[in-house]
Structure 1
Amino acid sequence: MKKKFSISILSGVVLLSVLTVPFPSCNMGTKAELPSFASDSLVAHFDYFTYKGDDDFYKENPLPGDDYYYNPILPGWYSDPSVCTDGKNYFLVTSTFSYYPGVPIFHSTDMLNWKQVGHVLDRPEQLPLDGQRTSEGIFAPAISYNPHNQTWYMITTNIRRGNFFVKTKDPFGSWSDPVWLPEVGGIDPSFFFDEDGKAYIVNNDVPDGGSTYEGHRAIRVREFDVETDKTIGESIMLVNGGVNLADKPIWIEGPHLYKINGSYYLMCAEGGTSENHREVIFKGNTPMGKFLPWDKNPILTQLHLDPNRPLPVTCAGHADLIQKDNGQWWSVFLACRPIDNKFENLGRETFMLPVRWSKDGFPYMTKGDELISGIIQMEGVKRESGTTFGNFEKNDGFDTPELGMEWTTLRGAATELYSLTENPGFLTLRCADVASNELKSPAFVGRRLQHHKFECTTSMYFTPQTAAEMAGVLLMKDEGHQYFMAVEKDGDQVQISLKKIKTNVVETLASQPLKPTDDSIDLKVTSTGTHFSFYYATGGGSWKLLAEGVEAYYLSTAQSFGFTGTTIGLYASNKLYEFNN
């Protein structure tokens, strides 16, 4: 059933009654007659939200068997993946930057079928993000399992606060409060638990003697005491600059230590996270060094390939290795799927490839001109329904008391700004006194874009009373790159408009007047991958075009920079815009 509010306003109080009409894709519940926010602030009520991927690659290239999967395995901006296992269960985490909750955690028993089971950082005390920009916050989480104490660890960087870890005996449940590591500098820390019970932290930091050029960094190691949760001894430099310091390599980062067949391997990313991104490997006899680079590095990259190749996968790197229970080695890593080498609206996504071993004992994922394939076979595993990859459709009728795991907010839980229980079956958003370009928590509930071609729809009940009140659908890249399809008031006229939000300018791209009505207004966004179109409908009528051919490039990482992809969602505000960031 599709739900309908009948809204009237008497002396500043919103009175609601609820009707129902058929709507086939959502399972609707009953409604309260009066939202608790009504006497406090005007609110917008969202009936449902649908997301449907429609990428050509998946339609034109069906999987050849039930032991195949599509790359990326986690489409959309699931970047900096890390994976670990206790021999039976596999867990994978990715970065979330300034979005809340932090660090989604996925579980699998076969490495092909993944399901999100929660977030590692799901409490405010674990995730202080106040005042941080969209691409700040949580960088490069690394998840590890210590068999000596049967404990799972997740260590990461909060870019404004420093490095910390959390731990748990049950990764399906809650994780500890942060244990901060002020003596571990830089970014991208990762645990290594050796066979003898000793533990180590490797991380990116400044080289001995300081940096001598822009991007000159080092990989360092410290021993760690699992009994006291403290580091031991001094920080030792393992890698200065990268594979070859004479080449002045930049941004050596994302380190992971492994012990394989009696040897220690140190794997790192190099070259920055754009087109020059690559993965490199070093080998040593102890966790404290000396580590020597393989003479055939890099072990994963696409940087040297023809940029005009069909369906390019770029920026590949920041990998982690995992051995399955059958002995096979696999790697998860980040990469991008740009259109025309500039439309990177999906951000850095999680890919997975099998690992091969050289005759001289080094792992690698690509060599020469090998392409990262979009279709991979994993023998001995059967693909289940509800996979995380390919074209899929998600319909949310807002019928549960908590948001689904795909939803996210900015810089905090924002639970004082939205409700799923005051009017069950609706997402109710308060018109907050926070603008979407401020470094605060706006009344914005969004999800990642996961396809180049997609369609999103929602139905909203909202009647603005002042020029400051607005609600609708927001496409968010960062504070200075947004599109907002808004219902708002211009003088005495209620209208729907499309706004292009820049760092210090708001441009109205299109607007249409709306007739006074107690009915809902339906909103739709479609994408061709390079352009967006925006539609609306009133009273259950047919779709009307608001704007078409709106450039997606404006929200691309290649244009706006930053580490996230684009997020789409529902937004309400009682503030025009803040231009003081």
Structure 2
Amino acid sequence: MRRVLRGVAFGLALVLGAAVHAQEPVLFDWFEYRGHDAAFEQPLPPGHYYNPVLTGFSPDPSIVRVGEHYYLVNSSFAYFPGLPVYESRDLVHWALIGHVIDRPSQVKLDGQGMSRGLYAPAITHHDGTFYVINTSVDSGGNFIATATNPAGPWSDPVWLPALAGGIDPSLFFDDDGKAYVVNNGVPEGGSRYDGHRAIWMQQFDVARHALTGPRRVLLDGGVDPAKKPIWIEGPHVYKRDGWYYLMCAEGGTGPQHSEVVLRSRAVWGPYVPYEGNPILTQRDLPADRAQPIVNAGHADLVEGQDGSWWAVFLASRAYDRVHYNTGRETFLLPVTWKDGWPSILPAGKAIPQVVQGPSFLAAGSQAPHSGNFTWRDEFDKPALDASWQFVRTPSKPWADLRSHPGQLAIEPQAQDLDTLHNPSFLAHAQQHLAFDASTELVVPAQDGVEAGIAAFQNEHYWYAFGVHRAGGKYLLTVRLHRGAASELMGTAAFDKAPTHLQLKISGDAGRYDFAYNEGSGWKLMVRGADGSLLSTDVAGGFVGATLGPYARLLDTP
């Protein structure tokens, strides 16, 4: 199998290549991201690892083991390429090897908000084939894609209209070869209160890639219907020692999030809840605890090659109790079994950020996915690094690494970052509470073009730090877009612009600084801008903040 994806070659003729630019492109020399969180400064004892294992926006993890290899997928919402696929030999050190959705023709994301798109994938493997089942909430519904190599290529989506109205599907193969899809859906008779959902199951015809037979409710509402539980979702079915286990998230993907489990001797149930539920939550811990990790849930289980069990799940590292700009991230914890029931974390215990690893843990840094590190792209490869993402599906080739070797050429477009289309912005996840993101660009010589670096949460909340020429002078601006309005946070003017300009955004929890270097050292332009505007608690939705270079055409008289 191809082990590491060296670059992004998706839709090469459409998105990346020696494009013929309708507008003179803006050239970027490099981009650098440096993370320096206090929680990662403590040295790791031998045999331990840092949580989260995938930092930055990486929610809704699903995992499968094939031999001694582990494969994990995450939600990507309206980012493209979609549904990243990671590989590991030890559950801790991960490599991004591909994407399930890497061709613009597979799924249309244009016109969707950043928290729409691709929700909660689930990955499994059976008889030499990998399956990812997923929901594209505003463009097609539920689908399944297959591959013989998890690095790709993946098939075009096969749509599953029988699951209309449902989300979070997961595929389970029983010992007899029969397959079943479980998913979140509207309860029989409709929802009786806000957040009331049910877990449904139906048999899956593998040969036809279609649902077959009757659909049945396995769980209505949650493990204790009398309490009117909300958002039972993210279901998975497992089989162990003759028991079928149904594991689900409950409480909504916020502070009340949790994971619950039920079991049955028969695949169709009835499923009986575990008296020790929830088997994972952080909702009962003090809100004022140090370095809080919140929102824990949406887990998936995997058995290691040594017989140990592990859980991957989402959670968020918060500051000021409720804010988190890094989104929902992927965490890893061991699973213990007692009296035939799994447990991920005892009640009242905080999720640790330093954890004893599996017996097969390899040595070495977890960079560039966890810990403190510096990541730099010199734009000297023929294809974009796999970590870059587009905002929605590109419809034209505006990013180019070939026309100017050693530089990234970005063609400016009229769309600003508030568009519901595809602006000329390359996104790299904010992976730390404390970070520096910087770039160097060739200052645009033509009027009507702005270029720089952006900190982006969604189309309603972002900062843009850019330079443009106007009236014979060069203006450097920091713009904040909040809701439906934009405001100017700071300006600087150059009578004679430098050929090259360096721009830097530095974050420390809820404070963002903006600095520039025109050749005589770094100068602070805006200090302590409100970074909480890029947090989920303020901006809403399900994604985390991203950073990267952008270019746009200005409105001119």
Q: Is the 8 A contact 1:414 1:443 kept in 2?
A: no
Matches within 5 A, 1:308-319: 308-319=288-299
Q: Which residue of structure 2 lines up, in the alignment, with residue 290 of structure 1?
A: 270
Alignment partner of 1:275: what SS?
coil
Instruction: Work out which of the residue numbers 31, 39, 59 in structure 2 matches 1:49.
Output: 31
**For 2:495 and 2:502, how far apart are their aligned partners in 1?**
14
**For 1:40 and 1:126, how far apart are their aligned partners in 2?**
26
Pairwise CA distance, 1:172: 2.3
Q: Is the 8 A contact 2:18 2:400 kept in 1?
A: no
Pairwise CA distance, 1:488: 2.2
**For 1:39 and 1:234, how far apart are their aligned partners in 2?**
54
1:436-477: CA deviations, max 9, x gaps? 1111011010100000111111111132533x4211111110
**Structure 2 letter corresponding to 1:48:** W
Q: Is 1:441 equivalent to 2:419 in the alignment?
A: no
1:341-374: CA deviations, max 9, x gaps? 1330000000000001122x11011122111100
User: CA distance change for structure 1 residues 226 and 309 in 2, over 3 Å: closer, same or farther?
Assistant: same
**For 2:302 and 2:366, how far apart are their aligned partners in 1?**
23
Pairwise CA distance, 1:534: 0.6
Alignment partner of 1:554: what SS?
helix
Q: Which residue of structure 2 lines up, in the alignment, with residue 399 of structure 1?
A: 380
Q: Which residue of structure 2 lines up, in the alignment, with residue 163 of structure 1?
A: 142
Q: Is the 8 A contact 1:113 1:383 kept in 2?
A: no
Q: Is 1:536 equivalent to 2:516 in the alignment?
A: yes
Q: Is 1:569 equivalent to 2:551 in the alignment?
A: no
**For 1:482 and 1:536, how far apart are their aligned partners in 2?**
19
Q: Is 1:106 equivalent to 2:106 in the alignment?
A: no
Alignment partner of 1:183: what SS?
helix
Pairwise CA distance, 1:275: 0.1
Pairwise CA distance, 1:574: 0.9
User: CA distance change for structure 1 residues 494 and 517 in 2, over 3 Å: closer, same or farther?
Assistant: closer
Q: Is the 8 A contact 2:444 2:451 kept in 1?
A: no
Pairwise CA distance, 1:576: 4.9
Alignment partner of 1:355: what SS?
strand
Instruction: Work out which of the residue numbers 185, 207, 230 in structure 2 matches 1:227.
Output: 207
Q: Is 1:150 equivalent to 2:128 in the alignment?
A: yes
**Structure 2 letter corresponding to 1:384:** G
Q: Which residue of structure 2 lines up, in the alignment, with residue 11 of structure 1?
A: none
**For 2:57 and 2:372, how far apart are their aligned partners in 1?**
16
**For 1:354 and 1:294, how far apart are their aligned partners in 2?**
19
**For 2:118 and 2:554, how far apart are their aligned partners in 1?**
28
Q: What is the total number of aligned residue pairs between the two structures?
A: 536
Q: Percent identity?
A: 40
1:395-415: CA deviations, max 9, x gaps? 100011111111000111465
Matches within 5 A, 1:10-409: 40-59=22-41, 61-65=42-46, 67-146=47-126, 149-160=127-138, 161-185=140-164, 186-359=166-339, 361-380=340-359, 381-385=361-365, 387=367, 388-409=369-390
**For 1:207 and 1:390, how far apart are their aligned partners in 2?**
42
**For 2:318 and 2:335, how far apart are their aligned partners in 1?**
25
Q: Is 1:504 equivalent to 2:484 in the alignment?
A: yes
Pairwise CA distance, 1:87: 2.7
**For 1:36 and 1:362, how far apart are their aligned partners in 2?**
57
Q: Is 1:474 equivalent to 2:454 in the alignment?
A: yes
User: CA distance change for structure 1 residues 503 and 489 in 2, over 3 Å: closer, same or farther?
Assistant: farther
Pairwise CA distance, 1:39: 6.9
**Structure 2 letter corresponding to 1:542:** G
**For 1:208 and 1:238, how far apart are their aligned partners in 2?**
11
Q: Is the 8 A contact 2:75 2:120 kept in 1?
A: yes
- Structure 1, unpaired ranges of 5+: 1-34
Query: Structure 2 length normalisation: TM-score?
Result: 0.94
Q: Is the 8 A contact 2:480 2:489 kept in 1?
A: yes
Pairwise CA distance, 1:433: 1.9
Q: Name whichever of 500-509 and 266-275 sits farther off.
A: 500-509
1:219-246: CA deviations, max 9, x gaps? 0000001111111112111100001111
Pairwise CA distance, 1:385: 3.8
Q: Which residue of structure 1 lines up, in the alignment, with residue 11 of structure 2?
A: none
**Structure 2 letter corresponding to 1:266:** L
Q: Is the 8 A contact 1:102 1:127 kept in 2?
A: no
Alignment partner of 2:163: what SS?
coil
**For 1:250 and 1:341, how far apart are their aligned partners in 2?**
23
Pairwise CA distance, 1:521: 0.8
**For 1:345 and 1:556, how far apart are their aligned partners in 2?**
4
Q: Which residue of structure 1 lines up, in the alignment, with residue 9 of structure 2?
A: none
- Structure 2, unpaired ranges of 5+: 1-16
**For 1:400 and 1:563, how far apart are their aligned partners in 2?**
32
Over the aligned positions, Cα root-mean-square deviation in angstroms equals 1.6
Q: Is the 8 A contact 1:101 1:413 kept in 2?
A: no
**Structure 2 letter corresponding to 1:356:** T
1:190-243: CA deviations, max 9, x gaps? 000011000000000000111010010000000001111111112111100001
User: CA distance change for structure 1 residues 234 and 36 in 2, over 3 Å: closer, same or farther?
Assistant: closer
**For 1:176 and 1:39, how far apart are their aligned partners in 2?**
31
Alignment partner of 2:188: what SS?
coil
**Structure 2 letter corresponding to 1:363:** P
**For 1:451 and 1:561, how far apart are their aligned partners in 2?**
19
Q: Is the 8 A contact 2:443 2:497 kept in 1?
A: no
Q: Is the 8 A contact 1:68 1:383 kept in 2?
A: no
**For 2:507 and 2:534, how far apart are their aligned partners in 1?**
12
**For 2:329 and 2:308, how far apart are their aligned partners in 1?**
23
**For 1:572 and 1:341, how far apart are their aligned partners in 2?**
35
Alignment partner of 2:266: what SS?
coil
Q: Name whichever of 280-289 and 206-215 sits farther off.
A: 280-289
Query: Structure 1 length normalisation: TM-score?
Result: 0.90
**Structure 2 letter corresponding to 1:426:** Q
Q: Name whichever of 242-251 and 108-117 sits farther off.
A: 108-117
**For 2:274 and 2:445, how far apart are their aligned partners in 1?**
63
Pairwise CA distance, 1:478: 0.5
**For 1:112 and 1:321, how far apart are their aligned partners in 2?**
15
**Structure 1 letter corresponding to 2:420:** L
**For 1:386 and 1:352, how far apart are their aligned partners in 2?**
13
Instruction: Work out which of the residue numbers 408, 421, 427 in structure 1 matches 2:402.
Output: 421
Pairwise CA distance, 1:434: 1.4
**Structure 2 letter corresponding to 1:123:** R
Q: Which residue of structure 2 lines up, in the alignment, with residue 546 of structure 1?
A: 525
Q: Is the 8 A contact 1:464 1:470 kept in 2?
A: no
**For 2:441 and 2:328, how far apart are their aligned partners in 1?**
31
Alignment partner of 1:399: what SS?
coil
**For 1:39 and 1:221, how far apart are their aligned partners in 2?**
50
Larger Rg computed on CA atoms: 1
**For 1:228 and 1:379, how far apart are their aligned partners in 2?**
39
Q: Which residue of structure 1 lines up, in the alignment, with residue 436 of structure 2?
A: 455
